[in-house]
Chains A and B, each alone.
Chain A
């Protein structure tokens, strides 16, 4: 699992280089669009799951994000990498879903909730507790950077931030995380 982000990044980089696919997709070629966006579905699902904590909701969000990407493909500027653009749509869609009253009431608390039957493991608890306390956007930044292996620039694109702001967000999130861990270690 740890290598998945890197693998997907390579795949995505290859896709970004596939300019003709984009152009075909822009003409309404559904197959080209599938080829273009297909490899990103899995990281999208993983991001959605990290944000929503429910597989069904993650699939719904990703599905809707694909639909939106299809519709908004013409807004993808030439030269802009596809992956952060698409993951930004996924992130927005997840936030849209979390915004609903039903979701806030029922879903949010389960994200990063530790399973009751899991084996006691202090280290795991420390990290997961600390992560669970982070603001959503910080946790999303860490997930994009450290799990999906996006570059800082890509994290910025996905979160609508400048690279400097993305870097600051990641740094701040780590800083928030580390004192938590240190405090709990103590």
Chain B
């Protein structure tokens, strides 16, 4: 035992050596932690709920931009149908990255000038993290949108016409659409009309032991929030989240996370107009595998990703079953489907190990349309509103992350497999 404990100490020592010097870290962490709004202080209990909401918003707004999918268990009356075609994908040609507009190279100083309805991708200026920039999907127009706190995450709607900050909702001209006094950031998930949003609400800022019921709501800037359905249970360490919100298809996808949030426990597809559960699945969570659910933007297709990791030293594996609008299995993909195109026909597939090649596939027949350049790892993907293109952001492992937002290259991939690098070394 002594020998083992010594070996363990040495192993941990080697690991911790990579952490480097911690000189100044204590001061920095304390300063940053306590430089929070006055009302987080323990004696100001009446404000605690609001503050906790803001703190949660930090996490959610900061990550929702990269989420657009994630947690859920089962119970459809239907037996999993034989998955439809999923032949082993044949590697497709990987287009050589073609540098397009590269705002990272030049600090954008001109305001973004595009028609209000034109979809853009919002990102942080490559040379100034406090500047929010926008670029059209074809790269033809780009420019400055707003100034932000460099540490603050934003959560943009699919077209980049509105974005939520920690305090409010703004349009891309910088106008405040929802002021702070009317703003609730927590759990917000933009709908596919770009104006409404779904959110999950619950009574307490910190759920009591045993949890409390969650409610799915829908709202829009300037409109009253409408209760859709009571669904799922929120625990302190396991929440309920929205994975899709579609006015067009009148449905939302809501997921219950399991203990510690590592695996989803249940997914519900809910009719927004009535609150009716269209179909649901739940997952046992036996510890041998994790399940995570992603959804197409309209909730028509769900990707149920089952991942096992390293049992008896074996490699990680991931496989995905795709469910159609009525909850029956309609496809199977070897690997982890992480995002769908707007129309649901294309998918972004990551490798099981999550550190290898990323591809864009046509999931119904398994055709591989594009594979990522060597040496880059997957970060996130966005679907072009009303289009078929996907924007895939990739990280270079050699570039260390020094803030809450990793530095990425953004590739836009068309349904024909043609791709180009739209952005280089930016943070989304």
Query: A residues bordering B, Cβ < 8 Å?
Result: 1-2, 26-28, 30, 33-34, 37-38, 41-42, 45-46, 49-50, 54-60, 62-67, 70-74, 92, 95-96, 98-102, 104-106, 108-109, 112, 115, 123-124, 127-129, 131-133, 142-143, 146-147, 174, 177-178, 180-181
Contact string, B383-410, partner A, CB cutoff 8 A, digits 1/0? 0000000000001000011111010000
With A67-B40, A70-B40 given, can you name 4 additional A-B contacts, CB distance below 8 Å?
A: A2-B9, A71-B41, A95-B237, A147-B16
Identify A34's interface contact among B4, B15, B34, B377, CB under 8 A.
B34
Per the bound structure, the CA–CA distance linking A143 and B9 in Å amounts to: 8
Knowing A30-B34, A106-B354, A131-B11, the reply to whether A46 touches B310 (Cβ < 8 A) is: no
Give CA–CA (A139, B166) in the complex, Å.
Answer: 35
Which residues of B, 210-257, contact A by the 8 Å Cβ criterion?
237, 257
**Given contacts A66-B30, A66-B33, A101 and B292 within 8 Å (CB-CB):** yes
Contact in complex: B42, A49 (CB < 8 Å): no
Question: By the criterion of a CB under 8 Å from any partner CB, how many residues of chain B are at the interface?
Answer: 68
Is B25 a contact of A66 with CB atoms below 8 Å? no
Residues of A within 8 A of B19 (CB): 45-46, 49, 55, 58
Known contacts A63-B32, A92-B237, A143-B12: A28-B42 contact under CB 8 Å: yes
Within 8 A of A (CB), among B54-107: 55, 59, 63, 66-67, 69-71
Q: Is the CB of A124 within 8 A of B29?
A: no
**Complex: A67 Cα to B56 Cα, angstroms:** 12
Contact A55 B20 (CB under 8 A): yes
- Residues of A close to B44: CB separation below 8 A: 28
Chain B: minimal CB distance from A128 (Å): 5
A101 to B17, CA, bound (A): 28
Measured between beta carbons, the chain A residues less than 8 angstroms from B280 are: none
Which of the residues B9, B22, B404 comes within 8 Å of A146, measured between beta carbons? B9
CB distance from A64 to the nearest CB of B (A): 7
Give, as a whole number of angstroms, the nearest-CB distance from A40 to chain B: 9
Which of B71, B338, B353, B401 sits near A56, CB closer than 8 Å? B401
Q: Are B12 and A147 closer than 8 Å at their CB atoms?
A: yes
Count of chain A to chain B residue pairs whose CB atoms are closer than 8 Å in the complex: 170
Kindly report which residue of chain A lies nearest to residue B355, judged by CB atoms: A109
**Binary per-residue interface labels of chain B (311-323) against chain A in the complex, 1 for a CB within 8 Å, 0 otherwise:** 0010010000000
Q: Is the CB–CB distance between B34 and A112 below 8 Å?
A: no
A41 to B361, CA, bound (A): 45
CA distance A77 to B257 in the complex (A): 29
With CB as the reference atom, state the residue of chain A lying closest to B336: A105
C-alpha spacing A27/B43, complex, angstroms? 7
**Are B261 and A146 within 8 A (Cβ)?**
no
B4 touches A96 (CB 8 A): no
Q: Is A59 in contact with B10, judged by CB distance below 8 angstroms?
A: no
The CA-CA distance from A25 to B209 in the complex, in Å, is 26
Minimum CB–CB distance for B46 against chain A, Å:
13
- A67 and B66 contact, CB distance less than 8 A: no
A-B contact pairs, 17 of them (CB 8 A): A33-B34, A46-B16, A56-B402, A56-B404, A70-B40, A71-B51, A72-B42, A95-B260, A96-B261, A99-B262, A104-B292, A105-B378, A108-B354, A128-B15, A131-B11, A146-B5, A180-B313
By Cβ-Cβ distance, the 5 closest A-B pairs, closest first, are: A99-B261, A66-B33, A101-B70, A147-B12, A28-B43
Q: Contacts A102-B67, A178-B4 hold; do A60 and B34 have CB atoms under 8 A apart?
A: no
CB distance from A77 to the nearest CB of B (A): 15
Q: Roughly how many angstroms separate A45 CA and B67 CA in the complex, as a whole number?
A: 26
Q: Which residues of B contact A124 (CB under 8 A)?
A: 10-11, 14
- Please give the distance in Å from A100's CB to the nearest CB on chain B: 5
A70 and B34 contact, CB distance less than 8 A: yes
Rounded to whole angstroms, the CA-CA distance of A142 and B8 in the bound complex is 8
B379 within 8 A of A: yes
B193 to chain A: which residues have CB within 8 Å? none
**Which of chain B's residues have a CB closer than 8 A to the CB of A96?**
59, 237, 261
- Other-chain contact of A59, B7, B28, B43, B63 (Cβ < 8 Å): B28
A99 touches B260 (CB 8 A): yes
| Contact across chains for A105 and B338 when beta carbons are under 8 A apart | yes
Known A-B contacts A106-B377, A109-B353, A146-B12; A34 and B30 likewise in contact (beta carbons under 8 Å) = yes
Q: Which of A67, A99, A177 contacts B55 (CB 8 A)?
A: A67
Q: Is the CB of B42 within 8 A of A106?
A: no
Residues of A within 8 A of B121 (CB): none
A106 & B379 in contact (Cβ 8 Å cutoff): yes
| Complex: chain B residue closest to A54, CB-CB | B401
A100 with B14, Cβ < 8 A, contacts A41-B26, A45-B25, A63-B32 known: no
Instruction: Name the contact of A174 in the complex, choosing from B1, B18, B313 (C-beta under 8 A).
Output: B1
Most B Cβ at <10 Å: residue of A1, A96, A99, A123: A99
Closest to B43 in A: A28
The verdict on A127 contacting B16 (CB below 8 Å), with A92-B237, A105-B338 known, is: no
Kindly state the separation between the CA atoms of A55 and B404 in the bound complex, as whole angstroms: 11
Are B313 and A133 in contact (CB-based, < 8 A)?
yes
Closest beta carbon of chain A to B404's beta carbon, Å: 6
Inter-subunit contact A127/B8 (CB<8 Å): yes
Partner of B14, one of A37, A95, A128: A128
Most chain B beta-carbon contacts within 10 A, residue among A50, A67, A128, A129: A67
